[in-house]
Homo-oligomer: A and B are copies of this chain.
Amino acid sequence: MVLTIVGLGLSDERDITVKGLEEVKNANFVYLEAYTAVLGVGPQKLEEFFGKKILEADRTLVEQGSDEMLERALTSNVAFLVVGDPFCATTHADLYLRARKKNVTVKVIHNASIMNAIGACGLQLYRFGETVSIPFFEESWRPDSFYEKIKKNKDAGFHTLCLLDIKTKEQTVENMMRGRQIYEPPRFMSVQTAIRQLLEIEDKRGGNVCLRDAKAFGVARIGAASQQITSGTLEELLSVDFGSPLHSLVICAPTLHEVETEFFDLFHAKGETAPAS
């Protein structure tokens, strides 16, 4: 009789909160949203740990076909699992509104998301400006609106968290046109690709926003035992291999505070790994 949106946190099945786990155990139906972000473990691992069957919810289900899920929540307990925190993606805020409109009772179990866990790099969270998303450049589609946003943050003295593109369950144009349910392998943007795209735009626009000597932090698999945090100039980070996904990038504000500078030095391009758990 309730839809509980449960944040799973960042890395694996044990990042769920005790409260969230209780909600999952009490649920009659458990859905997993797995297209805006992914954990380091697959749905099977979650099923084993929760002792529950998990229904995978793709973009189509969440954005258009969630009626079945919301109907069920009127008469039974439904848990909707999302990576990170329930409200970090706009699409979940939208689901929340649709549920309320259908008179579904909605509960929310919060958890860590990259939006706050990025603090692990040592930059002070309160000094971050607008978060930007960097999409994969395609042959004929190279959007660069994030460049202006990074500039705006920089001018205001803010850091910028850059979320890097994830493509899960994408179709080729041909397969889409022909209505074939064939999907490409998932792709996750690396720190290196993000920097290459930023430098390409910098070269084109020349706004001195993302110069090769700009300070930045590359992070990978935050919250996992294999977590990696490395600082350096964009030029330096171009040659750092951050390994498997998910990656994020932070472009630093023009000046760093004292403690921030200490963290920058601690994690400076030595492939330093900050163990998480």
Give chain A's interface residues, CB within 8 Å of chain B: 4, 7, 9-10, 12-19, 21-23, 85-88, 90, 93-94, 96-97, 100, 105-113, 115-117, 119-120, 122, 124-133, 152, 156, 158, 222-223, 259, 262-263, 266, 274-277
In angstroms, Cα B20 to Cα A19, docked, is 13
**Seed contacts A97-B259, A115-B125; 9 additional CB < 8 Å A-B pairs:** A9-B17, A15-B19, A17-B18, A17-B111, A85-B117, A88-B119, A111-B111, A115-B116, A129-B129
Closest chain B CB from A132 CB (angstroms): 7
Judging by beta carbons under 8 Å apart, are A87 and B130 in contact? Answer: no
In angstroms, Cα B19 to Cα A9, docked, is 11
In angstroms, Cα B115 to Cα A113, docked, is 10
In angstroms, Cα B127 to Cα A133, docked, is 12
In angstroms, Cα B14 to Cα A231, docked, is 35
Closest chain B CB from A72 CB (angstroms): 18
Judging by beta carbons under 8 Å apart, are B277 and A90 in contact? Answer: no
**How many copies of the chain does the oligomer comprise?**
2
Q: Of the candidates B93, B127, B277, which one forms a contact with A107 in the assembled complex, judged by CB atoms under 8 Å apart? A: B277
Instruction: List residues of chain B with CB within 8 A of the CB of A106.
Output: 274-275
Judging by beta carbons under 8 Å apart, are A19 and B277 in contact? Answer: yes
Closest chain B CB from A98 CB (angstroms): 10
Q: Of the candidates B9, B16, B130, B263, which one forms a contact with A126 in the assembled complex, judged by CB atoms under 8 Å apart? A: B130
**CB closest residue in chain B, given A262:** B97
Task: State whether A126 and B132 are in contact (beta carbons under 8 Å apart), knowing that A94-B259, A259-B90 are contacts in the complex.
Answer: yes
In angstroms, Cα B229 to Cα A93, docked, is 15
**CB closest residue in chain B, given A129:** B129
Judging by beta carbons under 8 Å apart, are B108 and A276 in contact? Answer: yes
Task: State whether A18 and B23 are in contact (beta carbons under 8 Å apart), knowing that A111-B111, A119-B93 are contacts in the complex.
Answer: no
Instruction: List residues of chain B with CB within 8 A of the CB of A15.
Output: 17-19, 110
**CB closest residue in chain B, given A91:** B259
